Amino acid sequence: MPEVRVGERQWSVTAGSNLLDTLNHNGVAVPYSCRAGSCHACLVQCVQGLPNDSRPDALSAEQRAQGWRLACQCQVVEDLQVHAFDPQQDGRPAEVAAVDWLSANVLRLRVNPQRPLRYNAGQHLVLWAGNVARPYSLASLPEEDRFLEFHLDCRHLGEFSAAARRLKIGDPLRLGELRGGALHYDADWSSRPLWLMAAGTGLGPLFGVLREALRQDHQGDIRVIHLAHDADEHYLAKPLQAMAASRPNLSIELWTPTGLPEALAQLRLVSRQTQALLCGSPASVEAFARRLYLAGLPRNQLLADEFLLRG
């Protein structure tokens, strides 16, 4: 049986065991979210030995040469010595700039990194509060905001959301790896209809993408749809409606589960050139995507990020 060693800890595992699972089951706290190789929360460094990696394309050649791997995509096939991501050693220092509630369940966290962070709207990174970590998408816009903004769904209390509730201005945080998800704005879309469809806090990264589209003076119609658990959870309704009041090509639709089937059934494409960006829970993204495909949207004109609720 192969053995895994992390610091002073060492244990035997069954060959073929998932590296992320064996680390977490043996007391090495490695965060994760998607388990699909997208969020990069479970980044670890293999100091000796290498696992079987099912997603070699998920990291750069430089990262792989340094031994970095995504634990969720790796199986233990030989003895391994692993260095788990250490937020104090490997993370970027930052501090809390502001923390406030946008609704009963959505906590807005604004963070100031000690060193400037270059990013694009729609990207995400891992936030560390002590030894608790969680990947979150950025809702801020680098050209306009001096802080990094995140929208945290606190409906189901988890380790990170519990820690976030206790944060105060000036508290230290650590930032993990910046990662580009599927969501972004492309200037080549300028004249095309742009649909931004979000469920819950999936609105966060799309809010950043929307602001980037407006900053670049997007000429096509922009349709923003937000599906919330109830009317009180449309947490960005006022700023979105204020934007729409001064932008004739921007429309805002606020949906709830009660009217979802009828609203989806009424979706019609005005143009087959429409570009759609979706974000939210897997079930919501699937429902949005299925309706768009039935309406005739080409699959290569749909980009989506799914949020797995772990708190």
pLDDT of 311 > 60? The answer is no
pTM: 0.86
Per-residue model confidence as pLDDT tens digits over 37-83: 777 778 899 999 999 999 998 888 888 999 999 999 999 999 999 99
Provide mean pLDDT across the span 23-36: 83
The whole-angstrom separation of Cα 77 and Cα 200 is 40
pLDDT of 157 > 90? The answer is no
| CATH class of the domain at 88-179 | mainly beta
Indicate the pairing of strand 194-199 with strand 275-280: parallel
Provide mean pLDDT across the span 213-235: 97
Please provide the average confidence, as pLDDT, over all residues in the chain. Answer: 93
Per-residue model confidence as pLDDT tens digits over 236-252: 999 999 999 999 999 99
Q: Do domains 88-179 and 187-306 have the same CATH topology?
A: no
The tokens for 171 are 């508290």
With respect to CATH, is domain 3-85 assigned 3.10.20.30?
yes
Domain residue ranges of the chain, discontinuous segments joined by +: 3-85, 88-179, 187-306
Tell me which architecture the domain covering 187-306 has in CATH. Answer: 3-Layer(aba) Sandwich (3.40)
Confidence of residue 310 (pLDDT cuts 50, 70, 90): low
Predicted pLDDT at 222: 98
